[in-house]
Amino acid sequence: MSHTPIIEMRKISKRFGQVQANDTVDFTLQRGEIHAIVGENGAGKSTLMKILYGLYQPDSGEIYIDGKSVKITSPRRAMRLGLGMIQQHFTLIPTFTAIQNIILAKEPRKFATLVDYQSAETKIKKLADQLGFDVPLNTPIESLPIGSHQHTEILKVLYHGAEILIMDEPTAVLVPQEIDGLFDCLRGLKKDGNSIIIITHKLDEVMAIADSVTVMRQGKAVATCAISDTAPHQLAEQMLGEAVSHSPIERKEIEQENPILHLADVTIKTHTGKVLLDCINLDVFPGEIVGIAGVEGNGQTELIEVVTGLRKVQDGIITLNGDSMVNATPAKFREKGIVHLPADRHRHGISLDSRIDENLIVGQHKRKVFCKNGILNPENIRRFSMNALDKYQIQVGDISHPLKTLSGGNQQKVVVARELSGGQTVIIAAHPTRGLDIHAADFVHSRLLQARNRGKSVVLVSSELDELLKLSDRIAVMYNGKIADVVKTDETDRQALGKLMLGISDLDG
Ligand SMILES: Nc1ncnc2c1ncn2[C@@H]1O[C@H](COP(=O)(O)OP(=O)(O)OP(=O)(O)O)[C@@H](O)[C@H]1O
Ligand SMILES: [Mg+2]
């Protein structure tokens, strides 16, 4: 006897201008399974899921839920059908508290008009406990870390009654411990009878969590199979349509005399006296990549903020090529050659409503090639943009369209292409390959190594130890606002780093 699938999408097609985002895609989700969707940036994964969630209407094709033909005309309709989606870029309202976000559009009432927060809170607390989440429900979203944003999103869809969860790259923004937590949560949800679709670029995650997988390439679903019938290298080949080869990048030895970036006793405190950075001492020399490891929330974000001018320090010395930069503005840092690949690109890196080519040059528009005597040079901007699109394989229909028409990964490539194009001396890269497919991540790695080999300095903050170990010459491990230790990469390994990250010294065993 065959079971009726909970979701069946048949021959779904969707075109945006010249881009065929989905091309007669068949997709089936069985009840109670975790189904992964993989594919390169721009392959059409998010589009397919937005169609399922009623955010886009397909040009053609049909959707069946539990064997019944349905028209999903809006997210509201999707929710009524038991669907919940956690999008690639979170959609919470920053100034609302977690609980206000969760109950939005489904506020429990008492006395007909008053919102009954009490009963909502009790219900949500119970859900959160079941899932092992610890979200401060009455804090505005904007002052919560990104892991809590995701917990809030999950609580929100469950509170609204979802039984089919769609998660678009939920792990891209999480650190390893949080990913383990998320996967435990997904296994629990599955055990309770929910069905889950998860998009990810990390094939080890697919192997770890999914029951089956669908591979997309250039708008088509090119393969679907059970996890037990596949392997990471096979999935990678199906994604790219060719065998994958890695060319290792040589590491040139660079003479090191004076540090480019020098931090001594840098300290920041909040107005309540909490110490966020505690006497940070760090030198970054020309021609080296210094990795910053640490469990999220141990000072990495603040460290990046002080070396890019986004946050003031209360004490200490910061110099760049010998010049004091204490409490200089972001513009000053930029002028002195510091570029910043921000972790939260939607907040700091890009303007979704501006044109793609404008996003590619913003912050650099004063460079002579782009602008002479205050007048922009459209021809040079165009040439630069086309070159960047080509080098980074950024798939666009038209560079005059707004950035938001690009896939998530392609938006990130725009930021990376822009920041790595100028004559920078120090690159501050926070999670530079988040959301990028295997190809693109490799390309960014090679760009960072090339910059290093040309004598530039790179500060690389990453939650992925493999990335840190692959790229860094030295790794500084942060714990509790301090640098616990700085180790040479060839003298350490995952385990040693893991211990330092958790604040366990060798004396503790
Ligand atoms: N609203 C839109 N307007 C125009 N083009 C769009 C729109 N949404 C998506 N596209 C295009 O459709 C294609 C598929 O995009 P989609 O977001 O589905 O890719 P994806 O597989 O999710 O990629 P990523 O891994 O980078 O998130 C891309 O070329 C993208 O530029
Ligand atoms: Mg996407």
Per DSSP, 97 falls in state B
Domain ranges of the chain: 7-240, 261-508
Class of domain 7-240: alpha beta
Pick from 132-136, 395-399, 421-425 the range whose average pLDDT is largest.
132-136
Q: What is the three-class DSSP state of 198?
A: strand
How far, in Å, is the centroid of ligand 2 from the Cα of 435? 8
With 50 as the cut, is the pLDDT of residue 509 above it?
no
Give the Cα separation of 464 and 462 in Å (integer): 5
Atom of ligand 1 nearest to the CA of 44: 18
The ligand whose atoms approach the alpha carbon of 436 most closely is 1
Please state, as a whole number, how many other Cβ atoms lie within 10 Å of the Cβ of residue 237: 15
What pLDDT is attached to residue 5?
A: 96
Q: At 348, is the pLDDT very low, low, confident or very high (cuts 50, 70, 90)?
A: low
Report the nearest-CA residue for atom 17 of ligand 1. 407
With 70 as the cut, is the pLDDT of residue 243 above it?
no
Read off the pLDDT of residues 104-145 as tens digits, 9 standing for 90 and up. Answer: 866 666 666 666 777 888 889 988 988 888 889 999 998 887
Q: At 98, is the pLDDT very low, low, confident or very high (cuts 50, 70, 90)?
A: very high
What pLDDT is attached to residue 11?
A: 98
Give the Cα separation of 94 and 149 in Å (integer): 10
Read off the pLDDT of residues 367-380 as tens digits, 9 standing for 90 and up. Answer: 777 777 777 788 88
CA-nearest of 457, 463, 494, 456 to 478 is 463
Read off the pLDDT of residues 267-291 as tens digits, 9 standing for 90 and up. Answer: 999 888 889 999 999 999 999 999 9
CA-nearest of 473, 470, 439, 447 to 459 is 473
Read off the pLDDT of residues 183-196 as tens digits, 9 standing for 90 and up. Answer: 998 999 999 999 99
Q: What share of the chain in percent tops pLDDT 70?
A: 93
E strand or H helix at 451: helix 438-453
In terms of residues, how long is the chain? 509
With 80 as the cut, is the pLDDT of residue 263 above it?
yes
Across the chain, mean pLDDT equals 88
What pLDDT is attached to residue 18?
A: 84
How far, in Å, is the centroid of ligand 1 from the Cα of 348? 21
Q: What share of the chain in percent tops pLDDT 90?
A: 52
Is-same-fold flag (7-240; 261-508)?
Answer: yes
Report the nearest-CA residue for atom 6 of ligand 1. 405
With 80 as the cut, is the pLDDT of residue 13 above it?
yes
Report the nearest-CA residue for atom 27 of ligand 1. 408
What pLDDT is attached to residue 492?
A: 93
Question: Which whole-number Å values give the CA distances from 10 to 13, 80, 212, 217, in the listed order?
Answer: 9, 21, 18, 17
What pLDDT is attached to residue 125?
A: 92
Per DSSP, 4 falls in state P
Q: Report the pLDDT averaged over residues 424-447.
A: 88
Alpha-carbon dihedral sign for residues 207, 188, 52, 354: negative
Pocket (CB within 6 angstroms of ligand 1): 16, 19, 21, 39, 41-47, 88, 395, 397, 405-410
How far, in Å, is the centroid of ligand 1 from the Cα of 40? 11
Ligand 1, pocket-test mutation among 406, 436, 437, 439, most atoms within 8 A of CB: 406
The answer to whether the beta carbons of residues 9 and 48 sit under 8 Å apart is yes
Report the nearest-CA residue for atom 25 of ligand 1. 41
Read off the pLDDT of residues 20-62 as tens digits, 9 standing for 90 and up. Answer: 999 999 999 999 999 999 999 999 999 999 999 999 999 999 9
Neighbouring-strand partners of residue 339: 427
What pLDDT is attached to residue 379?
A: 83
Give the Cα separation of 485 and 479 in Å (integer): 9
Read off the pLDDT of residues 283-317 as tens digits, 9 standing for 90 and up. Answer: 999 999 999 998 878 899 999 999 999 999 999 99
Ligand 1, pocket-test mutation among 407, 414, 433, 443, most atoms within 8 A of CB: 407
Give the Cα separation of 34 and 20 in Å (integer): 27
What pLDDT is attached to residue 113?
A: 63
What pLDDT is attached to residue 272?
A: 86
What pLDDT is attached to residue 1?
A: 47
Burial of 463 (0-12, 13-18, 19+ CB in 10 A): buried
**Residues 261-508, CATH architecture:** 3-Layer(aba) Sandwich (3.40)
How far, in Å, is the centroid of ligand 1 from the Cα of 395? 9
Report the nearest-CA residue for atom 28 of ligand 1. 42
Ligand 1, pocket-test mutation among 46, 171, 396, most atoms within 8 A of CB: 46
